[in-house]
Chains A and B, each alone.
Chain A
Amino acid sequence: MRVDLQPALVLHRRAWRDTSFIVEAFTREHGRVGLAAKGARRAKSRWRGLLEPFSRLDLSWAGTGELYTLRDINYVTRYTLAGNTLMGGLYASELIMRLTARDDPHPPLFDTFEALLQTMAGGAPAIVALRFFERDLLEELGYGLTLTHDALDAPIEADARYRYEPESGVWPMATVASNEPSVAGATLIDLAEGRLTQRARLREARDLLQAALAPHLGSKPLKSVATLKAMQQFADTRQPLPRTDDH
């Protein structure tokens, strides 16, 4: 197989042998591909620094099997993320790596992912942008949430509360116990219409989307999520040693 200058976004790359990278790229028309970038880590390589995550490139490759050989790179742009958006970009990349198969094309998901990087690079808060990304990712993989109607096909009411079931969707709740997870109709409507602003609704939307993604991620948690938790916990821990003067 030979592919020329295919629009691609770099999801991840890891060192391979002494001088090469294995690149995980999400391409527009060929889906996720694994590419061996031979010699890309050499000091004088013309590919040096091009294969960073969140780079938008046109890639040419050839070969068969699990791993293709990268042949050419045309640099288009790089989305510069920092702080929360950087962590958000890594999380979104891992979601794509986990939920799409190699060589399985999803052109709309490619566009959704690029739009996410674009908005976050433009300064949009990750906590909001990621929720719409998760919504669209589920939709494009065929697991979309119905956000306008409940499981009984009645229109969602802003004032009502709902319970989410992975198989059937959201069910109206007559009464809500305080410890029972539930989501406000208004949150579902906001998520559907793409305008999440209130903190409480953002939190509900996050929990809802997490519950919707969970069955597809299986028992193995995302590494980025576990590591981000560890980073948060570590940062929140008080200093482990008291100030001492004896050394």
Chain B
Amino acid sequence: MAFSPALARLIDAFRVLPGVGAKSAQRMAFHLLQGERAGGAKLATALAEAVEHIQHCQRCRMFTESDYCEICRNERRDATRVCVVESPADVMALEQNTDFRGHYFVLMGRLSPIDGIGPEELGLNILRARLADGPVEELILAVGATVEGEATAQYVAELAERYGASVTRIAQGVPVGGELEYVDAGTLSQAFSGRRPL
């Protein structure tokens, strides 16, 4: 049986989400149409607004609909400590599981020469401008313990040292090959407090 065009489009649209195949997409579509029309309308509005207005913070590259994100605008946070992470999910993980109250810089990836991902792609010009511009006393590298994470850490550390920032890297606890987003809270908290100079 073929779905009506609008239904087929809806099911197809859900498949853009990670982990959603044809079956789950169909289940989601039916669920919305059967008893959740109001919720569906809310979802549609939220989605439309988000994709139209959410951009990257001009200072840390975190998602925000303003020029600067909440964290960068918060004057009670310590701007002399900047924690470099690979993804927005890492920021959330650190915010929830550590007592860090400095600023962040989100790379949105990691250095990977074979994939053609270099300093430009990671927005390092923004980080460098920040190092040149304001007093960054400590740059904390909270990147994954992967080969690419290692390459990223080394490169960013060298860059930061040129501007007189002391560089630390979160230590034990992050499994080799691990991505921060998936590390459990206890491990992450311990790794964060165990950071050491390079």
Contacts and interface: CB of A to CB of B under 8 A. Distances in A.
Interface of A: 12, 14, 18, 41, 43, 48-54, 82-83, 86-87, 90-91, 93-94, 97, 223-224, 226-228, 230-231, 234-235, 239-241, 243-244
Contacts of A52: 146-147, 176-177
B16 interface: no
Nearest to A234: B119
Interface in B146-198: 146-147, 150-151, 154-155, 158-159, 163, 175-179, 182, 184
A90 B113 contact: yes
Interface of B: 18-19, 111-120, 124-125, 128-129, 131-133, 145-147, 150-151, 154-155, 158-159, 163, 175-179, 182, 184
Contact of A230 (B18, B119, B147): B119
B125 A231 contact: no
Contacts of A43: 182, 184
A243 B119 contact: no
A234 B147 contact: no
A18 B21 CA distance: 11
A82 B150 contact: yes
A241 B129 contact: yes
Chain B CB within 10 A, most for which of A12, A41, A43, A228: A43
Contact of B120 (A50, A83, A90, A234): A234
A211 B158 CA distance: 32
A108 to B, nearest CB: 23
Nearest to B124: A234
B147 A240 contact: no
Given A227-B117, A231-B118, A244 B133 contact: yes
B154 A86 contact: yes
Given A49-B175, A90-B114, A239-B163, 16 more contacts: A18-B19, A41-B182, A48-B178, A49-B177, A86-B150, A90-B151, A93-B114, A94-B114, A223-B114, A227-B118, A230-B119, A234-B119, A234-B120, A235-B158, A239-B128, A241-B129
